[in-house]
Structure 1
């Protein structure tokens, strides 16, 4: 199967975010305005707020912030190769230089009265200390936030690995049970089914750390159906409506096959005449939707105690972990059919997302 996980980038792991992005830049501007307001309010006032002072100070600080953000953004790929302490020193030196430069420009254009040498020195020292303190606090915040993100990523991967470890045995044993039923009645088919199972299980182990593509997931699901058709014969009919889904669409590994297995075990197998499993998948406006429906016999509920819902709970947990709270999995009973539906937001081609997993047999 194709590995969709791109090579790790050093810049992606750097604790300083991309300050050229709109969201980060807006946050810096708002933070700078709060600093300006504090500085102006901290000065002695005669009557009311000195709006001119506020405007000039805001202009001064925003120039420093925007120039610093542009410089850090430009140098970010190089800073990411250094140690955290070295990167912090370089960033602080850059901010200090820009602060002193902007102070010199402001003194030349906006300070009409001549400052003494001591007053000029105090002005530069004051601006330098304020910029260094704010820069250090902001970098500390970025560092802690980066540590928190890495911890969340590690916890997510551990959770998905645990889900995967629970599913592999179920996947193997259920498939072996299907093949065992063929040995006495049709040894030749059983032999072919063993070969299909070998390919299927090898595929299920092929990419434990990445998302799959819709093309690969669909191939895996059809391999599973071929094993079941050896056993069920004409009792199992399939109806596929999946042609409009992009082949490179990202999907958690082993998502479709467990849904099909549930449909076979609880919809087709109990019925003498069998039935049709319908698979419908569509991708529109950045949202992928999948429906798998199967017939059911009266009194045979989806909540039958024979089923532990392991597959469904596993799939839902992985969807929410990988694609956020907007991912959904639901079950509906309509007339004489059960329909399992799932949906989640995703983009093309397969994005860099944490690890997928497997599931089987509720």
Structure 2
């Protein structure tokens, strides 16, 4: 079974990114090359661009960048345990030390290849390089820190927004389930009592889940509990087909996504039909996209319950909040069937995850 491994909070909160990754390293190399251009163009007494000078300075600066990255990568887990001030100072100090070491190496190589005896160290060169590296490293560290603070604030706002949406859908779930049990009391009081006990277990599971994303295994289990509750009332009129194949158990999905969709399908599709019908649930991974589809029969005449679309709007907003603008929830009708489709990107799930679309589970 494939596993989805989300990044740890400590990794995402720390201001210093994983510099060994391709994107971060490329950004540093390009930034260093811009610095080289500024340094060469700003040198006094030189008109135009001295390409040989540009090559030498670029070689020096890129060595400083690469050696600094090579040292920061293994030191990053240790720096994460320090406060932001100490980790920032140590990072800048490391850059300065690497610069001084590269300056000493360049001075030695210059005298070695020119075949002249070594002269006393030019203090001005060392101080100049150290000062430039200190200023540039301080600017880069400050920018990285402000970016991490901005991301942290965005996550806090997103969490507050998700909590508000979650707080709206939980009472909606409870009230509709209570209405189902109320209609069962007149038919079979003992079954209504058992259904009420099942509802308490189900709602306890709903409340136990946090406000962040749930997993596919948890959502499917919650949905099956809800369907068993509705089966007390609808009996054989309610049939459900599951076409979910081999999905990762920990595939992320917003909490209380599948159950409200099933509730809508039962309330507006199965319940108005005297013979009932079948709800088809299909889920699969497709090139990094998770696709979920529900189909339910559509009565010729609308039932007594006319939905306001609150649950669908809520799910749609939570999808966009968690997975960005590429996430969507759409509905359409055709050939007497109402179809709800959900899709959102999962960049951390392998696109080649094997999925068996023909696996059919008819359990309620």
TM-score range, shorter chain: 0.7 to 0.9
Superimposed CA distance per residue, residues 158-198 of structure 1 (whole angstroms, 9 cap, x where no aligned partner): 01000011111111110000000111211111112112211
Counterpart of 2:354 in structure 1 is: none
**Unpaired runs of at least 5, structure 1:** 350-362
1:306 paired to 2:306: yes
Equivalent residue for 1:149, pick from 131, 139, 151: 151
Counterpart of 2:193 in structure 1 is: 191
Does the 8 Å contact 1:11/1:76 carry over to 2? no
Seen in structure 2, the aligned counterparts of structure 1 residues 5 and 32 have a Cα distance that, compared at 3 Å, is closer
Does the 8 Å contact 1:250/1:348 carry over to 2? no
Q: How does 1:36-115 map to 2 (within 5 A)?
A: 36-44=36-44, 48-110=48-110, 112=114
Superimposed CA distance per residue, residues 53-74 of structure 1 (whole angstroms, 9 cap, x where no aligned partner): 0000000000111111221222
Superimposed CA distance per residue, residues 244-282 of structure 1 (whole angstroms, 9 cap, x where no aligned partner): 333332222211110010011111222233222111122
Distance in 2, Cα, partners of 1:9 & 1:274: 47
Seen in structure 2, the aligned counterparts of structure 1 residues 75 and 44 have a Cα distance that, compared at 3 Å, is same
Does the 8 Å contact 2:298/2:337 carry over to 1? yes
Distance in 1, Cα, partners of 2:201 & 2:274: 30
Counterpart of 1:33 in structure 2 is: 33
Farther off after superposition, 244-253 or 91-100: 244-253
Normalized against structure 1, the TM-score is what? 0.88
Q: CA deviation at 1:286?
A: 2.8
Distance in 2, Cα, partners of 1:159 & 1:270: 35
Q: How does 1:278-289 map to 2 (within 5 A)?
A: 278-289=280-291
Distance in 2, Cα, partners of 1:85 & 1:215: 42
Secondary structure of residue in 1 paired with 2:122: helix
Does the 8 Å contact 2:291/2:344 carry over to 1? yes
Seen in structure 2, the aligned counterparts of structure 1 residues 9 and 236 have a Cα distance that, compared at 3 Å, is closer
Distance in 1, Cα, partners of 2:92 & 2:108: 24
Seen in structure 2, the aligned counterparts of structure 1 residues 275 and 52 have a Cα distance that, compared at 3 Å, is same
Distance in 1, Cα, partners of 2:19 & 2:102: 20
Does the 8 Å contact 2:162/2:211 carry over to 1? no
Q: How does 1:191-270 map to 2 (within 5 A)?
A: 191-270=193-272
Q: Which has the higher contact order (CA 8 A, sep 6+)?
A: 1
Superimposed CA distance per residue, residues 199-242 of structure 1 (whole angstroms, 9 cap, x where no aligned partner): 21111111114432222211211111122221122322222222
Counterpart of 1:358 in structure 2 is: none
Normalized against structure 2, the TM-score is what? 0.87
Q: CA deviation at 1:47?
A: 5.4
Does the 8 Å contact 1:156/1:321 carry over to 2? yes
Q: CA deviation at 1:45?
A: 5.3
